[in-house]
């Protein structure tokens, strides 16, 4: 089982305006996409069921209309599970991961109101990044990843799919990846949106009384089980302490 350590940091994002090549398919076109996925009904709050995503209920996702540019994406389609079918209308901005150029993420919303978009990604290194069906892809595969949580439920649909380049060449999305804005932390590391940590701790509490000027750090650690391994997060909160440089005793005559 893999263990992944993530240190949270605050970075300044530089916003860049850009234009790029468009990829568009209309409803009724031969370029419609049919993707295979699985749905875990009533996902447990600690992610135990993610240990074997393939054991979930087989699900088909029809994408009737899609639009990609260098910096935005729109997807319209339907999710067919063993229990029902629901449409989605996803749209949002494409961004890059802060730690690699092999992952493009999307901050997407479902304007139809049926799903929370937990994660959207275009991943050209699925064996190096977080992949729920880990080990099932080659190093040369580029995946479209889409994780949806049906609103008002714990029904979690996972799509990790390669797509024929003649229909949609996902690899082309990486031509200008360096020019994308950086994604938010939860756009990339999505698990805290739906899972509770299996372990949490804090260390180095701030001293109640400080006798010297300096800093005091408190470290918060969280561990999440995401099927393919355990992800450990650390967040350091630094407090700047001001106080006397020395303390003397005795009375002044």
| pLDDT tens by residue, the chain, 253 residues | 555 544 444 332 222 222 333 444 443 344 689 999 999 999 999 999 999 999 999 999 999 999 998 899 999 999 999 999 999 999 999 999 999 999 999 999 999 999 999 999 999 999 999 999 988 999 889 999 999 999 999 999 999 999 887 778 888 889 889 999 999 999 999 999 999 999 988 886 655 544 455 677 788 888 998 887 888 888 788 777 665 555 555 555 5
**Cβ 133 vs Cβ 40: under 8 Å:** no
Is 109 a domain residue?
A: yes
* pLDDT digits 0-9 by tens, 87-136: 999 999 999 999 999 999 999 999 999 999 999 999 999 999 999 998 89
Calpha distance 189→101 (Å, rounded): 15
Taking the model in full, what pTM does it have?
A: 0.79
pLDDT at residue 8 in the model: 43
Is 225 a domain residue?
A: no
pLDDT at residue 242 in the model: 65
How many distinct structural domains can be found in the chain? 1
Is 233 a domain residue?
A: no
**Cβ 104 vs Cβ 84: under 8 Å:** no
Calpha distance 248→233 (Å, rounded): 42
Is 239 a domain residue?
A: no
Is 82 a domain residue?
A: yes
| Residue-range definition of the domain harbouring residue 86 | 13-193
Other CB atoms closer than 10 Å to residue 86's CB: what's the count?
Answer: 19
Is 218 a domain residue?
A: no
Angle, alpha carbons 21-171-24 (nearest 5°): 40
Quickly list DSSP for 12-66.
-----------EEE-TTSTT-EEEEEEEETT--TT-GGGGGGGGSEEEEEEEEEE
- The residues, any chain, with a CB within 8 Å of residue 20's CB and separated by 6 or more, are 69, 70, 71, 175, 176
Is 126 a domain residue?
A: yes
Is 217 a domain residue?
A: no
Among candidates 138, 134, 102, which has minimal Cα distance to 121? 102
Collapse the DSSP code of 185 into the 3-class scheme (helix H, G, I; strand E, B; otherwise coil) and give the result. Answer: helix
């Amino acid at each position: 089982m893999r263990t992944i350590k993530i240190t949270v940091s605050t970075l300044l994002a530089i916003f860049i305006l850009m234009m790029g090549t468009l990829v568009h398919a209309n409803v009724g076109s031969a370029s419609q996409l049919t993707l295979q996925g699985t749905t875990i009904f009533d996902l447990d709050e600690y992610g135990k069921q993610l240990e074997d995503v393939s054991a979930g209920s087989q699900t088909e996702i029809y994408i009737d209309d899609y639009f990609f540019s260098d910096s935005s994406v729109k997807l319209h389609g339907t999710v067919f599970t063993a229990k029902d079918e629901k449409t989605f209308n996803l749209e949002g901005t494409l961004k890059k991961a802060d730690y690699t150029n092999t992952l493009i993420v999307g901050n997407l919303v479902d304007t139809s109101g049926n799903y929370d978009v937990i994660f959207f990604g275009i991943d050209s290194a699925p064996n190096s990044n977080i992949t729920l069906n880990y080990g099932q892809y080659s190093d040369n595969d580029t995946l479209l990843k889409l994780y949806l949580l049906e609103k008002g439920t714990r029904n979690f649909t996972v799509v990790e799919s390669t797509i024929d380049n003649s229909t949609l060449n996902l690899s082309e999305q990486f031509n200008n990846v360096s020019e994308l804005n950086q994604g938010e932390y939860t756009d990339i590391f999505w698990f805290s949106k739906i899972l509770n940590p299996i372990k949490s701790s804090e260390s180095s509490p701030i001293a109640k009384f400080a006798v010297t000027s300096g800093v005091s750090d408190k470290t918060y650690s969280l561990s999440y089980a995401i099927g393919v391994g355990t992800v450990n997060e650390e967040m350091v909160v630094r407090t700047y302490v001001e106080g006397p440089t020395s303390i003397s005793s005795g009375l002044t005559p």
